[in-house]
A and B are shown apart, each in its own frame.
Chain A
Amino acid sequence: MHVLIINGSPRVKAFSNTDKILEQFTKGMAENGTTFEQYEVSDKKQWDAMRKAFAENNNILIALPLYVECIPGLLIEFLETVEKKADDTRLAFILQGGFAEGIQLRCGEEYLKILTERLGCTYAGTLVKGDNFSIRFFEGEKRDKVTAPYAAMGRRYAQDGGFDSEECRKFTGPEVFPAPVRLLVGFMFKTLAKKGFRSMATGWGCTKPLDYKPYM
């Protein structure tokens, strides 16, 4: 199988969490001899080649971050320019986001089914998982801990040509956290996490409080 992979993240490749996920995913996917070509929607210079590849391939995987409950504006802008397909193209998605619960990604996932139909393709499922915000801030083993599980999903995709399996559904993790966990995590948001975010901001040269109100 040969797969066209589109990284649908508007963030440049070097800092793209989706790209780091794809690194691991394609490692697993390629183990059985599956080949792929990958493009980045963030680089408009690639759009002509992407459009051509979209027309020519019949196994397509779009990996994307959730932007305001749906797909990013830049990915819509690109997809507005592709020809609707009339072959038996199978279109699958990796949908990822920052919030940790599966429920946060369901509205976006629902749209991907509509999108597939509007593009004239056959829906091959969506791999849904959140809790990925920190990938860009991590290096080495810490980053691998977050992204490495995607390699197994890549193997599964190479085998099934999609994400319609119990293993892929389980990959999402909890839909919502149980109340005691929410209490504990909620407490961490007010303490440890706040400190962590402030430390990230300082590392980026931020000199203002994170709740600063510039337009008041």
Chain B
Amino acid sequence: MILIVNTTSDHSVTEELKEQTDSKGIKAEIIETDSMHISHCIGCNYCWLKTPGECSIKDDYEIILKKIIHADQMWIISDTALGFLDHKGKNIYDRILPIATMYLKFKGDQMRHVPRYESRTDVGIIYKGEPDAEYLKRWNERAALNFESRSLGVFKTDEIKEAVSCMC
């Protein structure tokens, strides 16, 4: 399953994505977060040490979290600010911590948290605005390490066809 999380208030992007994924027979689930309440991560570490796997913030992020662990891919649609994802897009990544455990291991030559679940979710970004695109690409590759997965790439909203070609 392909999970698409739209953190912008522009639904035209998801409408186009729906059209294109439907026409290709790709099973995609779209979540619009503009009507949801999603807080930032407060770094309490409860999801690792007090209520393993569960976030202490009881808001709509739980809906997304439950879907991520069953998704082969997650695509974040985000506005940008200060050369990067805006806070709404970044919050979706920051709140991912419950899919990792407190336990540590070495992956290659670097420390990583041991994943909580067997499944892996690759991550991609579709962005609006003018970020530092080269950096965003590099960052998403690095961010994917937190999912123990790979980056699907970083695309502008006028490159939706290219993004959809990576959805399979």
Interface contact tally, CB-CB below 8 A: 157
Q: Are B84 and A76 in contact (CB under 8 A)?
A: yes
Q: In the complex, are the beta carbons of B102 and A210 less than 8 A apart?
A: yes
Task: Return chain B residues, CB-CB under 8 Å to A10.
Answer: 40-43
Per the bound structure, the CA–CA distance linking A114 and B135 in Å amounts to 9
**Residues of B with C-beta under 8 A to A193:** 103-104
B41-73 vs A, Cβ < 8 Å mask (1 yes, 0 no)? 111101011111110000000000110010000
A89 within 8 A of B: no
In the complex formed, the residue of A with least CB distance to B69 is A215
B82-95 interface code vs A (CB 8 A; 1 in, 0 out): 11111110110110
State the majority secondary structure of interface residues on B. Answer: mixed
Q: How far is the CB of A211 from chain B (nearest CB, A)?
A: 5
Decide if B30 is an interface residue (CB 8 Å cutoff).
no
Contacts of A72 in B (CB 8 A): 40-41, 43, 90, 94
Distance between A11 CB and nearest chain B CB, rounded to angstroms? 4
Closest to A78 in B: B87
**Which residues of B line the A interface, CB within 8 A?**
40-44, 46, 48-54, 65-66, 69, 81-88, 90-91, 93-94, 96, 101-106, 109-111, 114, 116-117, 132, 135, 138-139, 142-143, 145-146
Q: A73-B93, A119-B82, A210-B103 are in contact. List 7 more A-B contacts (CB 8 A).
A: A70-B139, A71-B90, A76-B90, A80-B87, A111-B84, A179-B109, A193-B104
> Which 5 pairs of residues, A with B, have the shortest CB-CB distance?
A77-B87, A73-B91, A11-B43, A73-B90, A74-B40
